[in-house]
Protein backbone atom coordinates (compact mmCIF):
# COMPACT_ATOMS: atom_id res chain seq x y z
CA UNK A 1 0.00 0.00 0.00
CA UNK A 2 1.04 3.60 -0.31
CA UNK A 3 0.44 6.55 1.94
CA UNK A 4 -1.41 9.48 0.39
CA UNK A 5 -3.33 12.66 1.09
CA UNK A 6 -6.76 13.30 -0.40
CA UNK A 7 -6.63 16.61 -2.26
CA UNK A 8 -9.50 16.64 -4.76
CA UNK A 9 -12.30 14.88 -6.60
CA UNK A 10 -12.98 13.83 -10.19
CA UNK A 11 -16.45 14.00 -11.77
CA UNK A 12 -17.24 11.66 -14.66
CA UNK A 13 -20.81 11.02 -15.78
CA UNK A 14 -20.04 8.98 -18.90
CA UNK A 15 -18.44 5.78 -17.65
CA UNK A 16 -18.65 2.01 -17.47
CA UNK A 17 -22.09 1.35 -15.91
CA UNK A 18 -20.74 -0.62 -12.94
CA UNK A 19 -18.90 2.49 -11.74
CA UNK A 20 -22.13 4.36 -10.90
CA UNK A 21 -22.05 5.59 -7.32
CA UNK A 22 -18.29 5.24 -6.88
CA UNK A 23 -16.48 8.39 -5.76
CA UNK A 24 -13.11 9.15 -7.38
CA UNK A 25 -10.60 11.12 -5.34
CA UNK A 26 -7.29 12.69 -6.36
CA UNK A 27 -4.68 11.48 -3.86
CA UNK A 28 -1.16 12.83 -3.64
CA UNK A 29 1.51 10.34 -2.57
CA UNK A 30 3.41 11.12 0.64
CA UNK A 31 6.65 9.57 1.90
CA UNK A 32 7.18 8.17 5.44
CA UNK A 33 8.17 11.68 6.59
CA UNK A 34 4.75 12.95 5.48
CA UNK A 35 6.16 14.98 2.57
CA UNK A 36 4.42 14.95 -0.80
CA UNK A 37 6.56 13.07 -3.32
CA UNK A 38 5.13 14.59 -6.49
CA UNK A 39 3.25 11.42 -7.43
CA UNK A 40 -0.51 11.07 -7.45
CA UNK A 41 -3.26 8.63 -8.26
CA UNK A 42 -7.01 8.79 -8.79
CA UNK A 43 -8.55 6.28 -6.36
CA UNK A 44 -12.05 5.04 -5.70
CA UNK A 45 -13.19 5.68 -2.14
CA UNK A 46 -14.29 2.63 -0.14
CA UNK A 47 -14.26 4.19 3.33
CA UNK A 48 -15.74 7.70 3.17
CA UNK A 49 -12.49 9.66 3.07
CA UNK A 50 -12.56 13.45 2.85
CA UNK A 51 -10.27 16.21 1.64
CA UNK A 52 -7.07 16.61 3.67
CA UNK A 53 -7.18 13.14 5.18
CA UNK A 54 -4.20 10.81 5.08
CA UNK A 55 -5.17 7.45 3.59
CA UNK A 56 -3.83 4.09 2.48
CA UNK A 57 -4.18 3.15 -1.17
CA UNK A 58 -4.22 -0.38 -2.56
CA UNK A 59 -3.67 -0.84 -6.28
CA UNK A 60 -4.05 -3.49 -8.96
CA UNK A 61 -6.45 -6.40 -8.49
CA UNK A 62 -6.30 -5.77 -4.74
CA UNK A 63 -8.19 -2.54 -5.39
CA UNK A 64 -11.21 -4.67 -6.30
CA UNK A 65 -11.33 -6.53 -2.96
CA UNK A 66 -13.73 -4.07 -1.32
CA UNK A 67 -17.53 -4.09 -1.24
CA UNK A 68 -17.52 -0.85 -3.24
CA UNK A 69 -15.14 -1.86 -6.00
CA UNK A 70 -15.68 -5.61 -6.54
CA UNK A 71 -15.70 -6.62 -10.22
CA UNK A 72 -15.37 -3.01 -11.32
CA UNK A 73 -12.72 -1.52 -13.65
CA UNK A 74 -10.97 0.17 -10.76
CA UNK A 75 -7.23 -0.20 -10.12
CA UNK A 76 -6.75 1.99 -7.02
CA UNK A 77 -8.85 2.21 -3.87
CA UNK A 78 -8.74 4.08 -0.58
CA UNK A 79 -9.18 1.15 1.81
CA UNK A 80 -8.23 2.87 5.08
CA UNK A 81 -8.07 6.31 6.67
CA UNK A 82 -4.81 6.75 8.57
CA UNK A 83 -4.92 7.83 12.23
CA UNK A 84 -1.17 7.97 12.71
CA UNK A 85 2.14 6.41 11.78
CA UNK A 86 5.53 6.25 13.40
CA UNK A 87 9.04 5.58 12.15
CA UNK A 88 11.56 4.28 14.68
CA UNK A 89 9.15 5.10 17.50
CA UNK A 90 8.77 8.75 16.46
CA UNK A 91 5.32 9.97 15.37
CA UNK A 92 5.48 11.24 11.80
CA UNK A 93 1.76 11.90 11.48
CA UNK A 94 -1.15 12.04 13.87
CA UNK A 95 -4.68 12.99 12.84
CA UNK A 96 -6.08 15.98 14.75
CA UNK B 1 -6.63 5.26 -12.08
CA UNK B 2 -4.73 7.88 -13.99
CA UNK B 3 -5.90 11.04 -15.72
CA UNK B 4 -5.13 11.27 -19.42
CA UNK B 5 -5.97 13.04 -22.64
CA UNK B 6 -6.91 11.14 -25.80
CA UNK B 7 -4.55 12.25 -28.57
CA UNK B 8 -4.59 9.54 -31.23
CA UNK B 9 -5.55 6.08 -32.44
CA UNK B 10 -3.71 2.87 -33.27
CA UNK B 11 -4.74 0.58 -36.15
CA UNK B 12 -3.84 -3.10 -35.96
CA UNK B 13 -5.49 -5.66 -38.21
CA UNK B 14 -3.35 -8.68 -37.27
CA UNK B 15 -4.11 -9.37 -33.63
CA UNK B 16 -5.45 -11.86 -31.13
CA UNK B 17 -8.94 -12.72 -32.43
CA UNK B 18 -10.78 -11.63 -29.26
CA UNK B 19 -9.58 -8.07 -29.82
CA UNK B 20 -11.72 -7.59 -32.96
CA UNK B 21 -13.88 -4.51 -32.66
CA UNK B 22 -11.89 -2.94 -29.82
CA UNK B 23 -10.65 0.59 -30.45
CA UNK B 24 -7.13 1.44 -29.27
CA UNK B 25 -6.43 5.04 -28.33
CA UNK B 26 -3.16 6.81 -27.58
CA UNK B 27 -3.61 8.61 -24.26
CA UNK B 28 -1.13 11.09 -22.82
CA UNK B 29 -0.90 11.18 -19.02
CA UNK B 30 -1.77 14.47 -17.31
CA UNK B 31 -1.05 15.53 -13.73
CA UNK B 32 -3.62 17.02 -11.31
CA UNK B 33 -2.84 20.48 -12.73
CA UNK B 34 -3.86 19.25 -16.18
CA UNK B 35 -0.31 19.36 -17.56
CA UNK B 36 0.99 16.53 -19.74
CA UNK B 37 3.62 14.56 -17.84
CA UNK B 38 5.41 13.03 -20.82
CA UNK B 39 3.99 9.56 -20.15
CA UNK B 40 1.51 7.80 -22.39
CA UNK B 41 -0.36 4.54 -22.75
CA UNK B 42 -2.33 2.79 -25.47
CA UNK B 43 -5.75 2.01 -23.99
CA UNK B 44 -8.83 0.18 -25.22
CA UNK B 45 -11.91 2.37 -25.30
CA UNK B 46 -14.91 1.13 -23.28
CA UNK B 47 -16.94 4.34 -23.26
CA UNK B 48 -16.76 5.99 -26.70
CA UNK B 49 -14.06 8.56 -25.96
CA UNK B 50 -12.90 10.93 -28.68
CA UNK B 51 -9.77 12.95 -29.47
CA UNK B 52 -9.09 15.77 -27.01
CA UNK B 53 -11.22 14.34 -24.22
CA UNK B 54 -9.90 13.93 -20.70
CA UNK B 55 -10.40 10.38 -19.48
CA UNK B 56 -9.70 7.98 -16.64
CA UNK B 57 -7.57 4.93 -17.35
CA UNK B 58 -7.59 1.70 -15.37
CA UNK B 59 -4.70 -0.71 -15.87
CA UNK B 60 -3.79 -4.32 -15.12
CA UNK B 61 -6.48 -6.94 -14.53
CA UNK B 62 -8.89 -4.10 -13.70
CA UNK B 63 -8.71 -3.12 -17.37
CA UNK B 64 -10.59 -6.34 -18.16
CA UNK B 65 -13.58 -5.54 -15.91
CA UNK B 66 -15.61 -3.84 -18.66
CA UNK B 67 -18.07 -5.34 -21.12
CA UNK B 68 -15.74 -4.43 -23.98
CA UNK B 69 -12.52 -5.88 -22.57
CA UNK B 70 -13.54 -8.92 -20.51
CA UNK B 71 -11.20 -11.92 -21.00
CA UNK B 72 -9.18 -10.05 -23.60
CA UNK B 73 -5.40 -9.43 -23.63
CA UNK B 74 -5.88 -5.79 -22.73
CA UNK B 75 -4.05 -4.11 -19.83
CA UNK B 76 -5.34 -0.54 -20.06
CA UNK B 77 -8.88 0.73 -20.60
CA UNK B 78 -10.63 4.08 -20.80
CA UNK B 79 -13.46 3.43 -18.31
CA UNK B 80 -14.71 7.01 -17.85
CA UNK B 81 -14.77 10.36 -19.62
CA UNK B 82 -13.92 13.16 -17.21
CA UNK B 83 -16.32 16.12 -16.89
CA UNK B 84 -14.24 18.04 -14.37
CA UNK B 85 -11.90 17.74 -11.44
CA UNK B 86 -10.93 20.03 -8.59
CA UNK B 87 -7.98 20.23 -6.22
CA UNK B 88 -8.56 21.97 -2.90
CA UNK B 89 -11.88 23.30 -4.15
CA UNK B 90 -10.35 24.92 -7.25
CA UNK B 91 -11.43 23.67 -10.68
CA UNK B 92 -8.42 22.35 -12.56
CA UNK B 93 -10.37 21.08 -15.56
CA UNK B 94 -13.91 21.49 -16.82
CA UNK B 95 -15.16 20.06 -20.10
CA UNK B 96 -16.58 22.66 -22.49
CA UNK C 1 -0.72 -1.46 -23.81
CA UNK C 2 2.59 -0.13 -24.96
CA UNK C 3 3.98 0.42 -28.44
CA UNK C 4 7.18 -1.43 -29.25
CA UNK C 5 9.47 -2.58 -32.03
CA UNK C 6 10.59 -6.20 -32.32
CA UNK C 7 14.39 -6.25 -32.40
CA UNK C 8 15.52 -9.73 -31.39
CA UNK C 9 14.79 -13.18 -30.02
CA UNK C 10 15.65 -15.11 -26.86
CA UNK C 11 16.41 -18.85 -26.86
CA UNK C 12 15.80 -20.83 -23.68
CA UNK C 13 15.63 -24.61 -23.69
CA UNK C 14 15.48 -25.16 -19.93
CA UNK C 15 12.18 -23.66 -18.82
CA UNK C 16 8.82 -24.31 -17.18
CA UNK C 17 7.29 -27.11 -19.29
CA UNK C 18 4.17 -25.14 -20.24
CA UNK C 19 6.32 -22.62 -22.10
CA UNK C 20 7.35 -25.14 -24.79
CA UNK C 21 6.63 -23.75 -28.25
CA UNK C 22 6.30 -20.13 -27.15
CA UNK C 23 8.55 -17.66 -28.96
CA UNK C 24 10.20 -14.94 -26.87
CA UNK C 25 10.99 -11.66 -28.59
CA UNK C 26 13.03 -8.69 -27.43
CA UNK C 27 10.88 -5.60 -27.94
CA UNK C 28 12.12 -2.04 -27.58
CA UNK C 29 9.57 0.49 -26.30
CA UNK C 30 8.72 3.41 -28.60
CA UNK C 31 6.92 6.63 -27.75
CA UNK C 32 3.97 8.10 -29.71
CA UNK C 33 6.48 9.85 -32.02
CA UNK C 34 7.94 6.44 -32.90
CA UNK C 35 11.22 7.09 -31.10
CA UNK C 36 12.82 4.38 -28.98
CA UNK C 37 12.57 5.32 -25.30
CA UNK C 38 15.41 3.16 -24.01
CA UNK C 39 13.05 0.69 -22.33
CA UNK C 40 12.57 -2.89 -23.43
CA UNK C 41 10.72 -6.05 -22.54
CA UNK C 42 10.92 -9.72 -23.46
CA UNK C 43 7.45 -10.69 -24.70
CA UNK C 44 5.86 -13.94 -25.84
CA UNK C 45 4.57 -13.77 -29.39
CA UNK C 46 0.87 -14.55 -29.87
CA UNK C 47 0.46 -13.22 -33.41
CA UNK C 48 3.49 -14.20 -35.50
CA UNK C 49 5.40 -10.93 -35.28
CA UNK C 50 8.77 -10.56 -37.00
CA UNK C 51 11.90 -8.45 -36.61
CA UNK C 52 11.38 -4.77 -37.32
CA UNK C 53 7.61 -4.83 -36.85
CA UNK C 54 5.82 -2.36 -34.61
CA UNK C 55 3.61 -4.19 -32.11
CA UNK C 56 1.35 -3.73 -29.12
CA UNK C 57 2.38 -5.35 -25.83
CA UNK C 58 0.02 -6.28 -23.01
CA UNK C 59 1.54 -7.03 -19.62
CA UNK C 60 0.56 -8.60 -16.31
CA UNK C 61 -2.31 -11.06 -16.07
CA UNK C 62 -3.64 -9.63 -19.34
CA UNK C 63 -0.62 -11.20 -21.04
CA UNK C 64 -2.18 -14.59 -20.32
CA UNK C 65 -5.46 -13.88 -22.12
CA UNK C 66 -4.31 -15.28 -25.46
CA UNK C 67 -4.55 -18.81 -26.82
CA UNK C 68 -0.75 -19.05 -26.81
CA UNK C 69 -0.11 -17.82 -23.27
CA UNK C 70 -3.10 -18.99 -21.20
CA UNK C 71 -2.11 -20.33 -17.75
CA UNK C 72 1.57 -19.89 -18.53
CA UNK C 73 4.18 -17.98 -16.48
CA UNK C 74 4.27 -15.18 -19.03
CA UNK C 75 3.83 -11.51 -18.07
CA UNK C 76 4.18 -9.79 -21.46
CA UNK C 77 2.67 -10.72 -24.81
CA UNK C 78 2.63 -9.32 -28.33
CA UNK C 79 -1.13 -9.34 -28.96
CA UNK C 80 -1.23 -7.16 -32.11
CA UNK C 81 0.93 -6.06 -35.00
CA UNK C 82 0.53 -2.34 -35.63
CA UNK C 83 -0.40 -1.13 -39.13
CA UNK C 84 -0.32 2.57 -38.29
CA UNK C 85 -1.02 5.15 -35.65
CA UNK C 86 -1.79 8.84 -35.71
CA UNK C 87 -1.56 11.65 -33.19
CA UNK C 88 -3.81 14.65 -33.71
CA UNK C 89 -4.67 13.41 -37.21
CA UNK C 90 -1.01 13.18 -38.28
CA UNK C 91 0.41 9.76 -39.19
CA UNK C 92 3.32 8.94 -36.91
CA UNK C 93 3.85 5.42 -38.23
CA UNK C 94 2.62 3.47 -41.22
CA UNK C 95 3.77 -0.03 -42.08
CA UNK C 96 5.30 -0.37 -45.54
CA UNK D 1 10.00 -9.97 -4.25
CA UNK D 2 11.92 -7.06 -2.84
CA UNK D 3 14.22 -6.80 0.15
CA UNK D 4 13.20 -4.31 2.81
CA UNK D 5 13.73 -3.22 6.39
CA UNK D 6 10.81 -2.73 8.78
CA UNK D 7 11.03 0.81 10.17
CA UNK D 8 7.58 1.73 11.45
CA UNK D 9 3.87 1.04 11.79
CA UNK D 10 0.66 2.62 10.50
CA UNK D 11 -2.52 2.85 12.60
CA UNK D 12 -5.87 3.05 10.80
CA UNK D 13 -9.13 2.39 12.62
CA UNK D 14 -11.51 3.39 9.81
CA UNK D 15 -10.97 0.84 7.06
CA UNK D 16 -12.52 -1.86 4.90
CA UNK D 17 -13.96 -4.34 7.44
CA UNK D 18 -11.95 -7.32 6.17
CA UNK D 19 -8.73 -5.57 7.17
CA UNK D 20 -9.48 -5.79 10.90
CA UNK D 21 -6.59 -7.40 12.74
CA UNK D 22 -4.04 -6.88 9.97
CA UNK D 23 -0.88 -5.05 11.00
CA UNK D 24 0.52 -2.48 8.56
CA UNK D 25 4.25 -1.85 8.60
CA UNK D 26 6.34 0.82 6.91
CA UNK D 27 9.14 -0.97 5.07
CA UNK D 28 12.10 0.78 3.46
CA UNK D 29 13.49 -0.88 0.33
CA UNK D 30 17.12 -2.02 0.44
CA UNK D 31 19.37 -3.02 -2.44
CA UNK D 32 21.46 -6.23 -2.61
CA UNK D 33 24.26 -4.41 -0.74
CA UNK D 34 21.86 -3.77 2.14
CA UNK D 35 21.68 -0.02 1.50
CA UNK D 36 18.37 1.81 1.67
CA UNK D 37 17.32 2.89 -1.82
CA UNK D 38 14.95 5.69 -0.83
CA UNK D 39 11.85 3.70 -1.76
CA UNK D 40 9.30 2.42 0.72
CA UNK D 41 6.02 0.56 0.91
CA UNK D 42 3.33 -0.03 3.52
CA UNK D 43 2.93 -3.80 3.79
CA UNK D 44 0.62 -6.08 5.75
CA UNK D 45 2.49 -8.42 8.08
CA UNK D 46 1.85 -12.14 7.57
CA UNK D 47 4.77 -13.49 9.61
CA UNK D 48 5.14 -11.45 12.82
CA UNK D 49 7.95 -9.16 11.68
CA UNK D 50 9.29 -6.51 14.03
CA UNK D 51 11.10 -3.18 13.74
CA UNK D 52 14.61 -3.41 12.34
CA UNK D 53 14.13 -6.81 10.72
CA UNK D 54 15.02 -7.44 7.09
CA UNK D 55 12.06 -8.93 5.22
CA UNK D 56 10.84 -10.04 1.83
CA UNK D 57 7.85 -8.23 0.35
CA UNK D 58 5.49 -9.65 -2.27
CA UNK D 59 3.21 -7.22 -4.11
CA UNK D 60 0.13 -7.28 -6.32
CA UNK D 61 -2.27 -10.21 -6.28
CA UNK D 62 0.55 -12.33 -4.83
CA UNK D 63 0.21 -10.25 -1.65
CA UNK D 64 -3.17 -11.92 -1.12
CA UNK D 65 -1.81 -15.49 -1.15
CA UNK D 66 -1.27 -15.66 2.61
CA UNK D 67 -3.65 -16.78 5.35
CA UNK D 68 -3.66 -13.25 6.76
CA UNK D 69 -4.35 -11.35 3.53
CA UNK D 70 -6.56 -13.64 1.42
CA UNK D 71 -9.40 -11.78 -0.35
CA UNK D 72 -8.44 -8.51 1.33
CA UNK D 73 -7.66 -5.16 -0.35
CA UNK D 74 -3.96 -5.53 0.35
CA UNK D 75 -1.30 -5.17 -2.36
CA UNK D 76 1.91 -5.70 -0.36
CA UNK D 77 2.72 -8.32 2.25
CA UNK D 78 5.70 -9.31 4.37
CA UNK D 79 5.79 -13.04 3.61
CA UNK D 80 9.24 -13.88 5.01
CA UNK D 81 11.77 -12.64 7.55
CA UNK D 82 15.26 -12.74 6.08
CA UNK D 83 18.02 -14.57 7.98
CA UNK D 84 20.79 -13.75 5.53
CA UNK D 85 21.66 -13.22 1.90
CA UNK D 86 24.83 -13.49 -0.12
CA UNK D 87 25.98 -12.08 -3.44
CA UNK D 88 28.71 -13.99 -5.27
CA UNK D 89 29.35 -16.07 -2.15
CA UNK D 90 29.91 -13.02 0.07
CA UNK D 91 27.49 -12.43 2.96
CA UNK D 92 25.78 -9.06 2.54
CA UNK D 93 23.45 -9.45 5.51
CA UNK D 94 23.20 -11.83 8.42
CA UNK D 95 20.69 -11.48 11.23
CA UNK D 96 22.24 -11.20 14.70
CA UNK E 1 9.56 -10.86 -18.97
CA UNK E 2 12.89 -9.36 -18.08
CA UNK E 3 16.41 -10.59 -18.62
CA UNK E 4 18.51 -11.05 -15.52
CA UNK E 5 21.63 -12.64 -14.09
CA UNK E 6 21.53 -14.79 -10.95
CA UNK E 7 24.00 -13.33 -8.47
CA UNK E 8 23.01 -14.58 -5.01
CA UNK E 9 20.60 -16.32 -2.69
CA UNK E 10 18.34 -15.28 0.19
CA UNK E 11 17.78 -17.47 3.28
CA UNK E 12 14.54 -17.04 5.24
CA UNK E 13 13.38 -19.65 7.73
CA UNK E 14 10.42 -17.72 9.18
CA UNK E 15 7.96 -17.36 6.33
CA UNK E 16 4.46 -18.12 5.09
CA UNK E 17 4.19 -21.93 5.36
CA UNK E 18 3.43 -22.48 1.67
CA UNK E 19 6.85 -21.09 0.76
CA UNK E 20 8.73 -24.03 2.32
CA UNK E 21 11.13 -25.55 -0.18
CA UNK E 22 11.14 -22.59 -2.55
CA UNK E 23 14.58 -21.17 -3.35
CA UNK E 24 14.92 -17.39 -3.50
CA UNK E 25 17.58 -15.93 -5.77
CA UNK E 26 18.90 -12.40 -6.11
CA UNK E 27 18.75 -11.53 -9.81
CA UNK E 28 20.30 -8.40 -11.34
CA UNK E 29 18.46 -6.96 -14.34
CA UNK E 30 20.40 -6.80 -17.62
CA UNK E 31 19.54 -4.83 -20.76
CA UNK E 32 19.47 -6.27 -24.31
CA UNK E 33 23.23 -5.53 -24.60
CA UNK E 34 23.84 -7.78 -21.58
CA UNK E 35 24.84 -4.90 -19.31
CA UNK E 36 23.56 -4.73 -15.73
CA UNK E 37 21.04 -1.90 -15.40
CA UNK E 38 21.31 -1.38 -11.66
CA UNK E 39 17.91 -2.95 -10.97
CA UNK E 40 17.39 -6.22 -9.17
CA UNK E 41 14.66 -8.52 -7.92
CA UNK E 42 14.41 -11.47 -5.55
CA UNK E 43 12.82 -14.29 -7.54
CA UNK E 44 11.69 -17.81 -6.71
CA UNK E 45 13.45 -20.44 -8.77
CA UNK E 46 11.21 -22.77 -10.81
CA UNK E 47 13.86 -24.25 -13.10
CA UNK E 48 17.01 -24.98 -11.09
CA UNK E 49 19.01 -21.89 -12.02
CA UNK E 50 22.48 -21.36 -10.61
CA UNK E 51 24.78 -18.43 -9.89
CA UNK E 52 26.02 -16.63 -13.00
CA UNK E 53 23.28 -17.90 -15.26
CA UNK E 54 21.20 -15.58 -17.42
CA UNK E 55 17.50 -16.12 -16.84
CA UNK E 56 14.04 -14.86 -17.71
CA UNK E 57 11.90 -13.48 -14.90
CA UNK E 58 8.10 -13.29 -14.92
CA UNK E 59 6.42 -11.06 -12.35
CA UNK E 60 2.99 -10.43 -10.87
CA UNK E 61 0.29 -13.10 -10.98
CA UNK E 62 2.19 -14.72 -13.86
CA UNK E 63 4.90 -15.61 -11.34
CA UNK E 64 2.41 -18.06 -9.79
CA UNK E 65 1.82 -20.03 -13.00
CA UNK E 66 4.55 -22.58 -12.32
CA UNK E 67 4.36 -25.89 -10.46
CA UNK E 68 6.71 -24.50 -7.81
CA UNK E 69 4.93 -21.21 -7.14
CA UNK E 70 1.21 -21.92 -7.64
CA UNK E 71 -1.00 -20.25 -4.98
CA UNK E 72 2.04 -18.96 -3.12
CA UNK E 73 2.78 -15.35 -2.10
CA UNK E 74 5.46 -15.03 -4.77
CA UNK E 75 5.53 -12.17 -7.28
CA UNK E 76 8.66 -12.99 -9.29
CA UNK E 77 9.84 -16.31 -10.70
CA UNK E 78 12.72 -17.58 -12.78
CA UNK E 79 10.77 -19.51 -15.42
CA UNK E 80 13.55 -20.07 -17.97
CA UNK E 81 17.33 -20.28 -18.22
CA UNK E 82 18.57 -18.33 -21.23
CA UNK E 83 20.82 -20.09 -23.77
CA UNK E 84 21.32 -17.07 -25.99
CA UNK E 85 19.71 -13.97 -27.42
CA UNK E 86 20.31 -11.86 -30.47
CA UNK E 87 19.45 -8.31 -31.47
CA UNK E 88 19.22 -7.55 -35.16
CA UNK E 89 20.83 -10.91 -35.96
CA UNK E 90 23.87 -10.25 -33.75
CA UNK E 91 24.45 -12.52 -30.75
CA UNK E 92 24.45 -10.47 -27.55
CA UNK E 93 24.75 -13.44 -25.21
CA UNK E 94 25.54 -17.10 -25.61
CA UNK E 95 25.90 -19.51 -22.72
CA UNK E 96 29.27 -21.28 -22.57
- pLDDT digits over E23-82, tens only? 999 999 999 999 999 999 999 999 999 999 999 999 999 999 999 999 999 999 999 999
Nearest to B62 by CA among E62, D16, A76, A67: A76
Nearest to B9 by CA among C81, C49, C84: C84
Each residue's pLDDT tens digit in chain C (96 positions)?
999 999 999 999 999 999 999 999 999 999 999 999 999 999 999 999 999 999 999 999 999 999 999 999 999 999 999 999 999 999 999 998
CA–CA distances in Å: residue C3 to residues B26, B28, B64, D96: 10, 13, 19, 48
B33 touches chain C (CB under 8 A): no
Q: Do B92 and A13 touch (CB under 8 A)?
A: no
Q: Do B41 and C1 touch (CB under 8 A)?
A: yes
E66 touches chain C (CB under 8 A): yes
Residue C96 exposed, middle or buried by CB count within 10 Å (0-12, 13-18, 19+):
exposed
Q: Do D64 and D72 form a contact (C-beta atoms < 8 A)? A: yes
pLDDT at position E33 is: 97
Q: Do D85 and E11 form a contact (C-beta atoms < 8 A)? A: yes
Kindly indicate the confidence band of residue A24, based on its pLDDT and cuts at 50, 70 and 90. very high
Q: Averaged over D28-40, what is the pLDDT?
A: 97
pLDDT tops 90 at residue A96: no
- C8 to chain E: which residues are within 8 Å by CB? 32, 85-88, 92
Nearest 10 degrees: Cα torsion E42, E48, E50, E54: -70
- B79 to chain A: which residues are within 8 Å by CB? 15-16, 19, 73-74
Low-confidence ranges of chain B (pLDDT < 70): none
pLDDT at position B96 is: 87
D44 touches chain E (CB under 8 A): no
The answer, yes or no, to whether ipTM is higher than 0.90 is: yes
- Compare CB distances from E85 to C9, C16, C61 and report the shortest one's residue: C9
pLDDT at position C96 is: 87
**Structural domains for chain C:** 2-94 (2.40.50.220)
pLDDT at position C12 is: 98
CA distance B43 to chain A (A): 13
Residue A32 neighbours by CB distance under 10 Å: 21
Q: Do D77 and D48 form a contact (C-beta atoms < 8 A)? A: no
B90 touches chain C (CB under 8 A): no
D18 touches chain A (CB under 8 A): yes
pLDDT tops 90 at residue E96: no
Q: Do D73 and D19 form a contact (C-beta atoms < 8 A)? A: yes
Query: CA C8, CA C6: separation in Å to the nearest integer?
Result: 6
Q: Do C42 and C25 form a contact (C-beta atoms < 8 A)? A: yes
Percent of all residues in chain C with a pLDDT value above 70, rounded to a whole number: 100
pLDDT tops 90 at residue D96: no
Best of C6, C80, C92 to disrupt the B interface by mutation (most B CBs within 10 Å)? C80
Query: CA D76, CA D52: separation in Å to the nearest integer?
Result: 18
Amino acid sequence: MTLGKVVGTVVATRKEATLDGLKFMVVRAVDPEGRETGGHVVAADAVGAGPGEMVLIATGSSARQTVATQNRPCDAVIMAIVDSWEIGGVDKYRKD
